[in-house]
Chain A
């Protein structure tokens, strides 16, 4: 055993020398993340543990910078992949590697890169580890800025598809013009962005399928004083793909936003219309890890678990609707605001299908007859005492399971939640959270409670959400975490319900599981 240890030290010594040398010359940085779950069978929820009872997603990233040059890699190991995430994430490898040069005007990247044009309506390459998503492009990226007034980006590459590359080649160019700076306006900002993307997938069959699909978008924004406006229109040429039901149809998207914000008050209204705008990395099935663009659900992202049971899932082939968001502060030392002030929030959204059909065409601004989603959310945040903070929340939601491929019907629910945080100075806090969901549909009523204690770098919690309207199952959780500098270690044990898990606006249907979850993240 002793000899074995000596061998390890001898093997690590040159590695440490190399690291020391690299540090002396430039800057080495990186991160490590593991999410590992030991699964158990659970008769109550129907959760079935995999053969080896283990799932483990691991990421190790290294970046090295020397003056204007940078290079890096990301090693990923799925040992095996966590249950519910795409099974095509398997084994391990250096899945992200790049070299780049960057000065004040020019940036060149060879290898893998992330990118977004405009609001992502025609292109977004990004990573969302919690749902196993990474659509990084492998190829060349060029960006040039002319005195920060005009910025040009050009990309050429192949999108990643899980542990492989998609069958497509993607080209794109983006031009941004800072109009306000060009016109030397001191009181407003304004800019326009023109984007174009080409996706080529070779085709040797007999059908009249064009191997090229083009997508274009025009984005404009203007902000002056308390007002801001933004609009983006996107158009996609005919795209005969599985995700568009093999209908050789073109697509379009319109996104409009307007806001009025001044100290103590913020408001924003968003409108979006999508018509056959799903855009896959190939002509096969689109979805998690296979999308070239980004069409998130424009609804409130909730932090209370019972408000997340039935989240909206964007219908990229046809959806119209919008969202309103308002926030207001009742001033401190006022009659209604009390000593510390009170924060009020209102958020509402509604989405429908498009009126019309493929054969006769879709109306441009009419709502269809099928409601996909609707919610109204009200929040009150009030500090009651120097050491006591309260938060009250109410949400009324209407969800149509057609958005996850099930029958066309409406589930209505009402959720009320509240939490109190008591601070024990200098570094302790106790949080108590209570939630309830009322519904006559689907799984009917739920109740939930959570208690969390933090002190210094340590946090521990115990919680449960309980369905008492249909299944009578408790989904309990107990766990804790320790954070130090740039490292966090967390462990929890409990049951997880089956259902949609959404991260960054993309949703994934997860099976129920029960088990012990270890999460370690560290950066350096």
Chain B
């Protein structure tokens, strides 16, 4: 019984304490195999949208397709960088290249091969999206994708 109570208490704690505020620095890799540190995502001095996805996650792909549809229009309205971080492991890693090439995604795709970046940001389910300021502060995040939620992302980006 004590353990159930402890689990309940921890869940409440998780719901009510303030959120993670800084971007963790973790090595990622490009689709060509080059190494990139997550800190380098901030080099352009513009806000960064990070979306965790995988080739087997339908809502993740819907979300990224929605960004692609709005890409040209949004880039005229606000300056930001979108990074789609694939959590595919060796089993489906090769499909990340074919997938993003065929869909002509205009944004950056990076690979989190052993899910170190995902763990560092405490992502348990995907899709999960973060907005990071050029200073590395996390100012917004959401879990899951429902059509139209990308408008909320645009609204937050415009407010930065």
Contact = CB atoms under 8 A, between A and B. Distances in A.
Interface of A: 19, 23, 27-34, 56, 58, 60-61, 63, 65, 75, 77, 79, 92, 102, 104, 114-116, 119-120, 124, 126-127, 129, 148, 151, 178, 180-181, 188-191, 221, 223, 228, 230, 257, 259, 261-268, 270, 294, 296-298, 301, 303, 325-329, 343, 345, 421, 423, 425-429, 454-457, 459, 481, 483, 485-488, 504-505, 520-524
Given A303-B58, A427-B147, A257 B102 contact: no
| Range class of the B interface residue count | 35 or more
A522 B11 contact: yes
Please provide the 6 A-B residue pairs with the shortest distance between their CB atoms, ordered closest to farther.
A266-B98, A327-B102, A29-B20, A32-B14, A261-B101, A266-B101
A28 to B, nearest CB: 7
A259 B141 CA distance: 34
B98 A267 contact: yes
B142 A120 contact: no
B70 interface: no
Given A75-B10, A263-B104, A301 B92 contact: yes
Interface centre among A116, A190, A261, A522 (most CB of B within 10 A): A522
A346 B14 CA distance: 43
B56 A303 contact: yes
A296 B91 contact: yes
Interface of B: 3-4, 6-7, 10-11, 13-15, 17-22, 24-25, 30, 32-35, 37, 55-56, 58, 62, 89-92, 94-95, 97-104, 113-116, 119-125, 128, 141-144, 146-149, 151
Given A268-B97, A425-B147, 20 more contacts: A27-B22, A34-B7, A56-B4, A77-B7, A79-B3, A119-B90, A228-B32, A263-B101, A266-B100, A303-B56, A329-B102, A343-B102, A345-B102, A426-B151, A428-B146, A429-B146, A454-B147, A455-B146, A504-B89, A523-B20
B25 A148 contact: no
A255 B38 CA distance: 28
Nearest to A299: B91
A188 B103 CA distance: 22
A60 B115 CA distance: 18
Contacts of A63: 120, 122
Contacts of B18: 23, 524
A151 B90 contact: no
A519 B146 CA distance: 19
A429 B17 contact: no
Contact of B17 (A294, A485, A524): A524
A488 B17 contact: no
Given A268-B97, A457-B146, A329 B7 contact: no
B34 A79 contact: no
Contact of A116 (B24, B35, B114): B114
Contacts of A30: 14, 122
A267 B101 CA distance: 9
A120 B122 contact: no
A163 to B, nearest CB: 14
A505 B89 contact: yes
Given A228-B97, A523-B124, A126 B102 contact: no
A268 B98 contact: yes
Contacts of A520: 11
16 contacts: A27-B22, A28-B17, A31-B124, A126-B115, A148-B35, A191-B33, A259-B94, A265-B101, A266-B99, A426-B147, A427-B148, A485-B143, A486-B141, A488-B143, A504-B91, A523-B14
A34 B149 CA distance: 26
Given A486-B141, A524-B18, A189 B34 contact: yes
Contacts of B151: 426
A114 B114 contact: yes
A325 B95 contact: yes
B143 A486 contact: yes
B94 A270 contact: yes
B97 to A, nearest CB: 5
B101 A523 contact: no
A327 B19 contact: no
Contact of A261 (B98, B120, B147): B98
A421 B33 CA distance: 35
Contact of B104 (A31, A32, A264, A456): A264
Contact of B35 (A151, A294, A483): A151
Given A266-B97, A524-B19, A459 B146 contact: yes
B89 A58 contact: no
Contacts of B20: 27-29, 523-524
Nearest to B54: A301
Contact of A61 (B24, B56, B99, B122): B122
Nearest to A148: B35
B3 A77 contact: yes
Contacts of A429: 146-147
B9 to A, nearest CB: 9
Nearest to A314: B91
B156 to A, nearest CB: 12
Given A65-B24, A124-B114, A343-B103, A485 B141 contact: yes
Nearest to B87: A504
Given A63-B120, A505-B89, A178 B125 contact: no
Contacts of A124: 114
A454 B146 contact: yes
Nearest to A297: B91
A303 B104 CA distance: 22
A427 B33 contact: no
